[in-house]
Amino acid sequence: METTPLLRVEGVGKAYYSNVVLKNITFSLEEGRILGVVGENGAGKSTLMNILFGMSVIEKTGGYTGSIFVNGEEVHFRRPKDALNAGIGMVHQEFSLIPGFTVTENILLNRESLNYTVAEEVFGSCLRTLNRPAMTTRAESAIKKLNVDLDGETLIAELPVGHKQFTEIAREIANSSTKILVLDEPTAVLTESEADILLASMRRLADAGIAIIFISHRLNEVLTICDDIVVLRDGEVVLNTPTAQTSVRGMAAAMVGRKVESIAPENNEDTRLIGETLLEVDHLWVDMPGETVRNVNLAIRQGEIFGIGGLAGQGKLGIANGIMGLAPAGGTVRFDGKPLALNQPSAPLAAGISAVSEDRRGVGLLLEESIAWNIIFSAMQNQGKFLKPLAGGLVRVRDEAAICACAQRYIADLEIKCVNELQIVQELSGGNQQKVCLAKAFETNPRLLFVAEPTRGIDVGAKKVVLDTLQRYNREFGMTIVMVSSELEELRSICDRIAITDRGRIAGILPASEPSENFGILMMGTAHEGAQTA
């Protein structure tokens, strides 16, 4: 029925300085159709939407390449207002509502119906008053289009999360010029029944002629509702197909890919001794904001590299932080047969467990101190290393010579690029900072090491050094390593077994040699539909 599609994205690419995040993205969207965009965290979905909506972060970092056409005309949005004027409405993952205003006021914010007043003649239109009845009618008609039970007079602060989401959507459709609606994971915060209502209203909106871009991690929803599906991986479109021609398995395979698979078999040739259970986790819960762990049972064996994967927010980071005592936790954790005290950061350190934090700059490093201090501090505090007696053993002070020697050893060993061991850590690049974090953990000679997101935000070369080093310490010193990462291929390249978390629980544990789509299915929370656990 359409000769010119409503939205056409052609060859769009984006690089943050030298880091390419989007390459040659091409797809089109026609009136009244729903396009599903899926991809792992970091696949480039958010960047694509930022470009589409003209977010300032794009312009500030050098703009994008390629072109975008709306109704056949090329557009180049420099600020969100341009996109709004062109008829693109966006509902973000984070709510942008005013809690103290009513639903109606939020829906019509800055587009209110106004009454004429005399003062306006003197001071301009800013002194017009609100036409409440007209506003109520307009808000109600928008809510009606969604077919939800939402009272326009309720304050946002008093609404349940699901209704806030509906308010956001109602705001976009109340704008009569909206032709394209972008929904960024709208169902993530909804209960199942709410999600069903939302999906039904999306269909209704589409039938009314609005084109919808639907971003979701729930593949089943995407399959149910969308007409077309675009799968992104590492900034590229890897699958662009009508829904009828794909399946959950097909999408999962496309999402996770299998590009690094060739590295994986290598580590199966070694002759390591995988021993008895070293760490036993029983009914662990962790109250870590955004990464809640609800009920995790794990057994990690001596000498293995154990991977924990899963999408953001599903609790994979919470496991490590909970066991290390950095977030409130409960349940039982047994290390080497002995129970481990939770909620007490010094207990795991004393027992021989160390961790490399996912929050490198916030938790992992003393940014304003030297490399040497960063490396030795944990070992000094917990094991009394690097102290020398003074005045006949009366006091023990820092042994600066030993500290420097130790730091120099790691600088050489881990190829940390720096001026010398006294350089301030803040001045190092991300990759080298990560190496300092590793050195800090290694210096405590842990029997078990948690490594969370070790390669986040670092360049390819440093990535390789980090992964190789982890593997080397595992091989040479028999260090048991638990690696938490959102990058599945990275886990598969060095781990023996990989657990996937979903909604605060372990969805399944598979050997790293399993085909990647099996992991993808676990991640998508569709395990009950056919993935076998090992």
Partner 1 sequence: MNAIKNFIEEAGWPRILIAAFLVLLFVAAPFVNVRLDASLSDTLVRFGMNGVMVLAMVPMIQSGCGLNFGLPLGIIAGLLGAVTSVELGVQGFAGVCTAMGIALPIAIIFGWGYGLLLNKVKGDEMMIATYVGFSSVAIMCIMWLVLPYSSPNMVWGYAGQGLRTTISVEEFWQNAIGGIGSFNIGEFFYFPTGMFVFFFLCCGLMALFMRTRTGTAMTTVGSNPEYARASGVNIDHMRTLSVIISTVLGALGIIIYQQSFGFIQLYMGPFYMAFPAVAAILIGGASVKKASIVNVIVGTILFQGILTMTPSVINSMIQTDMSEVIRIIVSNGMILYALTRVTKVK
**Of 234 and 359, CB closest to partner 1:** 359
Contact residue for partner 1 among 47, 357, 480, 501 (CB under 8 A) = 357
What are the CB-based long-range contacts (under 8 Å, 24+) for 399-408?
A: 403/372, 403/373, 403/376, 404/372, 406/372, 406/375, 406/376, 406/443, 407/370, 407/371, 407/372, 407/375, 407/376, 407/439
Q: Which of residues 292-331 bind partner 1 (CB under 8 A)?
A: 324, 326
Instruction: Select the span of 146-154, 183-191, 266-274, 380-388 touching partner 1 (CB under 8 A).
Output: 380-388
Strand, helix or coil for residue 358:
coil
Q: CB 60 → partner 1: shortest distance, Å?
A: 19
Alpha helices (runs of H) in 21-156, residue ranges in sequence order = 45-52, 56-60, 80-85, 103-107, 119-123, 132-146
Q: CB 386 → partner 1: shortest distance, Å?
A: 9
If binding is defined by CB under 8 A, does position 355 make contact with partner 1?
A: yes
Contact residue for partner 1 among 21, 114, 155, 366 (CB under 8 A) = 366
Instruction: Please give the single-letter amino acid code of residue 363.
Output: V
If binding is defined by CB under 8 A, does position 420 make contact with partner 1?
A: no
Q: CB 484 → partner 1: shortest distance, Å?
A: 15
If binding is defined by CB under 8 A, does position 448 make contact with partner 1?
A: no
**Of 53 and 373, CB closest to partner 1:** 373
Contact residue for partner 1 among 102, 201, 378, 516 (CB under 8 A) = 378
Q: CB 523 → partner 1: shortest distance, Å?
A: 28
Residue 49 CA to chain centroid, in angstroms?
Answer: 16
Q: CB 398 → partner 1: shortest distance, Å?
A: 5
Which pair of structure tokens corresponds to residue 390?
A: 């003074």
**Neighbour tally for 284: CB within 10 Å:** 24
Give me the sheet containing 65-70, strands edge to edge: 19-29, 7-16, 65-70, 73-75
If binding is defined by CB under 8 A, does position 393 make contact with partner 1?
A: no
If binding is defined by CB under 8 A, does position 343 make contact with partner 1?
A: no
Instruction: Measure the CA–CA gap between 505 and 128, rounded to whole angstroms.
Output: 54
Instruction: Select the span of 19-27, 276-284, 395-403, 514-522 touching partner 1 (CB under 8 A).
Output: 395-403
**Of 202 and 340, CB closest to partner 1:** 340
Instruction: Measure the CA–CA gap between 110 and 84, rounded to whole angstroms.
Output: 13
Instruction: Measure the CA–CA gap between 120 and 403, rounded to whole angstroms.
Output: 73
Instruction: Name the β-bridge partners of 129.
Output: 115
Instruction: Measure the CA–CA gap between 513 and 177, rounded to whole angstroms.
Output: 51
**Of 174 and 324, CB closest to partner 1:** 324
**Neighbour tally for 448: CB within 10 Å:** 22
**Of 373 and 473, CB closest to partner 1:** 373
Q: CB 445 → partner 1: shortest distance, Å?
A: 15
If binding is defined by CB under 8 A, does position 397 make contact with partner 1?
A: yes
Instruction: Please give the single-letter amino acid code of residue 160.
Output: P
Instruction: Measure the CA–CA gap between 241 and 244, rounded to whole angstroms.
Output: 8
Work out whether the CA dihedral 232, 237, 238, 243 comes out positive or negative: positive
Instruction: Measure the CA–CA gap between 44 and 27, rounded to whole angstroms.
Output: 14
Instruction: Select the span of 210-218, 241-249, 265-273, 344-352 touching partner 1 (CB under 8 A).
Output: 344-352
Instruction: Select the span of 99-107, 123-131, 159-167, 359-367 touching partner 1 (CB under 8 A).
Output: 359-367
If binding is defined by CB under 8 A, does position 345 make contact with partner 1?
A: yes
Instruction: Measure the CA–CA gap between 503 and 523, rounded to whole angstroms.
Output: 10
Instruction: Select the span of 233-241, 373-381, 471-479, 490-498 touching partner 1 (CB under 8 A).
Output: 373-381
Q: How many helices (H) and strands (E) does the chain have?
A: 18, 24
In degrees to the nearest 10, what's the CA dihedral of 191, 196, 199, 201? -110
Contact residue for partner 1 among 79, 132, 144, 398 (CB under 8 A) = 398
Q: Which of residues 139-198 bind partner 1 (CB under 8 A)?
A: none
Instruction: Select the span of 98-106, 109-117, 200-208, 391-399 touching partner 1 (CB under 8 A).
Output: 391-399
Residue pair 193/15 in contact by the 8 Å Cβ criterion: no
Instruction: Measure the CA–CA gap between 83 and 85, rounded to whole angstroms.
Output: 5
Contact residue for partner 1 among 98, 350, 419, 534 (CB under 8 A) = 350
If binding is defined by CB under 8 A, does position 427 make contact with partner 1?
A: yes
If binding is defined by CB under 8 A, does position 369 make contact with partner 1?
A: yes
Residue pair 516/258 in contact by the 8 Å Cβ criterion: yes
Instruction: Select the span of 54-62, 130-138, 219-227, 345-353 touching partner 1 (CB under 8 A).
Output: 345-353
Residues forming the site for partner 1 (CB under 8 A): 324, 326, 345-346, 349-350, 355, 357, 359, 362-369, 373, 377-378, 380-382, 384, 387, 390, 395-398, 424, 426-427
